[in-house]
Amino acid sequence: MEALTTILNPGVLFFILGFVAVLLKSNLSIPESVVRFLSLYLMLSIGFKGGISLYHSPLFGDGLIIIAIIIAMSAFVPFYSYLLFKKRLGVADAAAIGATYGSNSTLTYITAAGFLTSIGQAYEGYMTVALVVMETPAIIIAVIMAQCAMKTKSTKSTRTVIRESLTDGTLLVLVGSMGIGYLLTALGTETSPLATFIEGDMFTGMLVFFLLYMGTVVGRKFRELDHFPPMLAAFAIIAPIVNGMIAFGLCKLFGFQHGDALLLIILCASSSYIVAPAILKDTLPDANPAKFLTMSMGITFPLNIVSGIPVYWWMVENWL
């Protein structure tokens, strides 16, 4: 019964609702302006709460170990992905898949954080720092590998790739709100007036609404899987599980707290479908978005949302 309750949380159910609506060819539609607001709200909320928590739990001890793990995985995943697909798909597609799977899904992280909040499980503020840190390294490493292999420069320099990764709008709100939350807490400024805006029922409602939208997006991507290469579909399922299991093993080795462990596993098991694809569009123009974007959004994302989070949490609770 407990396992069923974990799996059938409101976010998952509304995600499935959006997915089914598309398969039924419903006219369900959410305006892009509303989606943009929801995205920015979720970033602001997670960032601000992370900043407050980071002040009370400085980036030492477990925090530094987790950041080191994140950086290591951001290098390891694009490397093995590139080696696996280089001869099969070509340099550009191999590097793009590596960048996508070496980076992370902020929404998957937010969903996992929302799940922890809903069950009253705490996690430290440095996990939000880990989320930010993981966005960029894999993209840079993958682009550099591709440039070296092709012995040519892409339309954008590595410096430009770094700048665009760090100044992406949603990421900037996440980092900025985290800094504001940390600063206000350090100054002793009252932050409770924001509590009703960024926590509790309002946060849960916003997250559920956004997951409803993502269900419709994934439903549309799912339709593209009819003639999708089985090799890529298999990778989109197996690689996140392998990455997640590596993270789980490290959590067990270092004895991380349960909330931190779940978020670290999810960061390593997720893949980017916003920041990385947006940058790869110009840095690796020869890469085919229909491959890496469909893998990330159409397969890996729903896998993590529907089954990954509850299964990993069960493992953390029972085996960590």
- Per-residue pLDDT, 62: 93
* % of the chain with per-residue pLDDT over 90: 39
Q: How confident is the model at residue 271 (pLDDT cuts 50, 70, 90)?
A: very high
Residue 80: other Cβ atoms inside 10 A: 15
Spatial contact of 96 and 67, defined as CB atoms under 8 Å apart: no
Written as one string, the DSSP assignment of 83-125 is HHHHHHH-HHHHHHHHHHHHS--HHHHHHHHHHHHHTT----T
> Pick from 223, 236, 196: which is nearest to 81 by CA?
236
Q: pTM surpassing 0.75?
A: yes
What does the pLDDT average to over 176-199? 81
* % of the chain with per-residue pLDDT over 70: 92
Q: How confident is the model at residue 107 (pLDDT cuts 50, 70, 90)?
A: confident
User: Which one has a higher pLDDT value, 171 or 214?
Assistant: 214
Spatial contact of 225 and 233, defined as CB atoms under 8 Å apart: yes
pLDDT surpassing 70 at residue 94: yes
- Per-residue pLDDT, 56: 83
What does the pLDDT average to over 149-177? 71
- Per-residue pLDDT, 153: 54
Q: d(Cα 278, Cα 288) in Å, to the nearest integer? A: 12
User: Which one has a higher pLDDT value, 150 or 247?
Assistant: 247
- Per-residue pLDDT, 2: 46
Token pair belonging to 102: 């070496």
Written as one string, the DSSP assignment of 271-283 is --SSHHHHHHHHH
What does the pLDDT average to over 162-185? 80
pLDDT surpassing 60 at residue 207: yes
Q: How confident is the model at residue 166 (pLDDT cuts 50, 70, 90)?
A: low
pLDDT surpassing 70 at residue 155: no
pLDDT surpassing 80 at residue 26: yes
Burial grade of 139 (CB within 10 A; 0-12, 13-18, 19 or more): buried
User: Which one has a higher pLDDT value, 275 or 130?
Assistant: 130
Q: How far is CA 154 from the centre of its chain?
A: 26
What integer best gives the mean pLDDT of the chain? 86
User: Which one has a higher pLDDT value, 273 or 98?
Assistant: 98
For the ranges 35-44, 237-246, 302-311, the lowest mean pLDDT is seen at 35-44
- Per-residue pLDDT, 270: 96
pLDDT surpassing 60 at residue 160: yes
> Pick from 272, 269, 271: which is nearest to 250 by CA?
269
Q: How confident is the model at residue 1 (pLDDT cuts 50, 70, 90)?
A: very low
Output phi, psi for 193, to 5 deg.
Answer: -60, -25
User: Which one has a higher pLDDT value, 65 or 119?
Assistant: 65
